[in-house]
Each structure stands twice: as structure tokens, then as C-alpha cells.
Amino acid sequence: MKRVVVLGSTGSIGKQALEVCRLRGYEVVGLAAGKNLEALSRQIALWKPHLVAAEESLHAELKARFPGLRLATAEEVAALEAEVAVAAIPGLAGLAPTRMAVRTGKRVALANKEAMVAAGPLLWQEAEAHGAEILPVDSEHSALFQALLGERREDVAELILTASGGPFLREPEDLAQVTPEMALRHPRWRMGPKVTVDSATLFNKGLEVLEAKELFRFPLERVKVLIHPQAYVHGLVRFVDGSLKAQLGPTDMRLFIQYALTYPERAETPLKDLPIPGVLEFLEPDLKRFPALAVAYEAGRRGGLAQVAVSAADEVAVEAFLQGKIPFPRIPEILARVLEATPAEPLTWESLFAVDAWAREEAKRWA
């Protein structure tokens, strides 16, 4: 029986990962969560994990509900003996447990894009030293991973990520009039506020470009974006002879989570007979309308700490927008200003966290 630890178990990806574990009959030996007491309690009662990590404010109540419960840090949960760790703690908070899962030689089903954006080269060094695997869970990166299987790297011309275009693909003409309420009305998906706003600015796709660059270790100029409003084609690989290979299917994260857990095998799901859209559109992104995507590319060209800085600055800028402190177009302006001031220093585990803290303060200054 495959043993799994789920880091970020009460978030959307974590919950769906546990559903996949239930369908596949896997043993969940560890859970790491935040402060959602009721969701975590239900998971503990169902899975009876060996170790649980949660915010310290929940410890007393968890001990009262589950007297024999062993509480630990997220890193200790990540270090448990298991075949797979689902890494779904968002932001740099998820980096340390993700690193621990890699250092203990597990397969890491990676759903935390910030970890790869900020520390991709460092994580690959750890993976190669400890025999770990890193497999993507994001639908776009899973699509590219699947399309690249069996292909020679030298035959690949470019990797193509698709983006739905978010709520402001065509209107309003003046994005300065966008309110937080408008930005949070995504036409296709319900997501957390930060990811939803990032989808509206296309910075989320910029982060995915940086993740693809680090995850697949291809040059940035060979990672492209196409707007695909139907969101049925998740990623394409174009080869040097002009042919294309794509992964298509419903945008149900259980498909991509399951593939990361079962690879190289495929298991049946209830989703296999869903209808195929009759029309599929592909458009070039408008970088004047969505300058945040251009900022992400520039950060990728600079590499290293620049990617750390824009990711951290975006969290501050998005929060300022949601609080009504800045207009929508100010978000990419803040990212550009922070990027321009980012120090050109080598990427290390120490410099990574130092620049993350600096970028947040710098972004607050501009916000």
C-alpha cells in the first residue's frame, strides 16, 4: 500500500489529494495544515495519521479532541517514511517542508509553484543528491510533463502554457476602473482571492512560466503563453519539425494529482466520459493590457533572486488592491519597481529568504 503525506491538507489541492488517496486505497500517514480546525479534525478522524502539523493556536483543542494525537512541525510530517509527499502549502511557507520531503528521497507531487519559482535550482540539487522525484500537480505543468514523455529534449522547440484569460480578457477597456469585487469574479473557476487576482492580471501565468522554466530546465525564451478561453488544452509542446503534442481534458485537479501519485501508471476515473468542447480558441496574450506577464518574463530573464522578489512583491500588491489601497493597474507597476531594485546576488537558501523579506518591505513602500 502506498504511503502518502499531505502538506496543506485543508486547502483545495490537499482535500482533492485526500479524495484521490481514498479512491486509490492509499495510507495517509501525515497531515500538515494551517488553522482550519474543523476540516483538519474530520481528516484526523478519517485517516488516523501518525503525525499532524497545525497552527499552534489549535494544539490544545486538537489534543482535547484526539488525546493520543502526535503533533509535530510541517517539516517533521514531510520527513515521515512514505513514498509520496503532496506539497500544497502555498507561498514560501511551503518551501521548508517541500525541501524536507525532497531531502528524504520521496516523490514530491508539487502543487506549490512558489517553491520552484524561488528555489528551483536549489531543489533540483537536493533532489539529485537524495534520489527524490519532483512531479508537477498544476494542470499546465502536468500537461507539459505528459507531452514530453518519450521525447528527446533536443527535439523540443518550445513549451506552451495556456491561460483562460481571466475576467478581463476583453473588457472593460479601462482597467483602472476594476474593483476587487470585479477581479474576484472569475468566469470559470472559484479560487482563493490571491490566485483569482493573479489570474486577472495574468501574473499567475507569469509565475507558471517561471515554474516551467525551472521545473523542466528549458531556457525562458522557449516557454510561451497562449490565451485559451475554453481551458480544455492545458499545455502543448512544439517540436523542431513544427508538430505539436498536447494534453487535453477537463480541468479537474484530481486528474493531475492522481497522475503525480500513480505515475507511470494511469488509473480510471469517473471523468473519462466528459464531453469535448466544440470550439477551441488560441490567442496571443496582450502584454500592454497585462503588463504583469511581461514583468514575470523579465524576472525570468534575470533569474535567481529576481524571481523571488517579484513573487513576494505580488503578495503585498494584491493584498493592497484587495484592501482598496491601490488601483488594479498599480499591481504590475509595483512588481516592476521592486524588480528594478532587486540586488544582483547569487541564489542561496539564505539569500532567498532575505530577499523575500526585503521585497515585501519594498512593495509596501510603493503601495
pTM: 0.93
CATH class as words, domain 3-137: alpha beta
Q: How many CB atoms lie within 10 A of CB 357?
A: 11
Return the CATH fold of 197-201+287-367. Answer: Rna Polymerase Sigma Factor; Chain: A (1.10.1740)
Same fold flag, 3-137 and 197-201+287-367: no
Give binding residues for NADPH as ranges: 10-13, 34-36, 112, 114, 192
| The pLDDT of residue 52 | 98
Per-residue pLDDT of the chain (367 residues; tens, 9 = 90+): 899 999 999 999 999 999 999 999 999 999 999 999 999 999 999 999 999 999 999 999 999 999 999 999 999 999 999 999 999 998 899 999 999 999 999 999 999 989 999 999 999 999 999 999 999 999 999 999 999 999 999 999 999 999 999 999 999 999 999 999 999 998 877 788 999 999 999 999 999 999 999 999 999 999 999 999 999 999 999 999 999 999 888 778 999 999 999 999 998 877 666 777 888 999 999 999 999 999 999 999 999 999 999 999 999 999 999 999 999 999 999 999 999 999 999 999 999 999 999 999 999 999 9
Q: Give the residue numbers of the binding site for 1-deoxy-D-xylulose 5-phosphate.
A: 113, 139-140, 164, 186, 199, 204-205, 208
Which residues have a Cβ under 8 Å from the Cβ of 296 and sit 6 or more positions away? Answer: 203, 205, 206, 207, 209, 210, 310
Residues 6+ apart with CB under 8 A from 117: 207, 210, 211, 214, 307, 308, 311
| Domain locations in the chain as residue ranges | 3-137, 197-201+287-367
What pLDDT is recorded for position 107? 98
Distance, in Å, from the CA atom of 344 to the CA atom of 54, rounded to the nearest integer, reads 36
User: What's the grid cell of residue 314?
Assistant: 505580488
Residue 277, pLDDT score: 83
- E strand intervals along 48-203: 51-53, 84-87, 107-110, 133-136, 156-163
**Cβ proximity of 326 and 367 under 8 Å:** yes
Phi/psi-derived region of residue 175, left when phi > 0, alpha when psi is between -120 and 50, beta in every other case:
alpha
Edge-first strand listing for the sheet containing 51-53? 51-53, 27-32, 3-7, 84-87, 107-110, 133-136
Give binding residues as ranges: 10-13, 34-36, 112-114, 138-140, 164, 186, 192, 199, 204-205, 208
Q: Report the distance separating Cα 140 and Cα 339, nearest Å.
A: 26
Annotated binding site for Mn(2+): 138, 140, 208
